[in-house]
Homo-oligomer: A and B are copies of this chain.
């Protein structure tokens, strides 16, 4: 049972790591500690090394992604509509997307496979069944297109020349045309 101070410090460090690494994944532990307002030795007291801190950030990402996916009501409407809601919900996690899409990203969703991937498969299956998704495109490709389109939207959003709403509109429009039934 960790004390209150311990829990608070750990949380501050993890949040600082997200803030730092979402823009520069190569940021040193010293920078993370500074951003968290703690000493480097304190950071190493809570996380034995960089790998352990990355693991903590990874777990936080899983939770946030899971919550966002659940909030997109994946069981509602057609499979394509659910896919579009899912994409929009993920796009709102800008900082977290930086950890996944940024150069030499520390977080790799492919290593999850268990929870999130299963839910996406469910949505795709429903899309095939109700005819809202193109039946001639294999599920691996649909999943890839979802992620890469989300990646593209995140890129444009990061550029700053388009608003979040504009990018979201472009994304779901291209998604509907690209993988929806003709």
Q: Quick check: is A164 within 8 A (CB to CB) of the other chain?
A: no
Chain A contributes a number of interface residues (CB within 8 A of B) equal to 30
Chain B residues contacting A155 (CB-CB under 8 Å) are 144, 148
Nearest B-chain residue to A180, judged by Cβ: B177
Copies of the chain in the assembly: 2
Chain B residues contacting A147 (CB-CB under 8 Å) are 152
Q: Is the CB of B103 within 8 A of A170?
A: no
Chain B residues contacting A148 (CB-CB under 8 Å) are 148-149, 151-152, 155
Interface residues of A (CB under 8 A from B): 103-105, 134, 136-138, 140-141, 144-145, 147-149, 151-152, 155-156, 159, 161-162, 170, 173-175, 177-180, 182
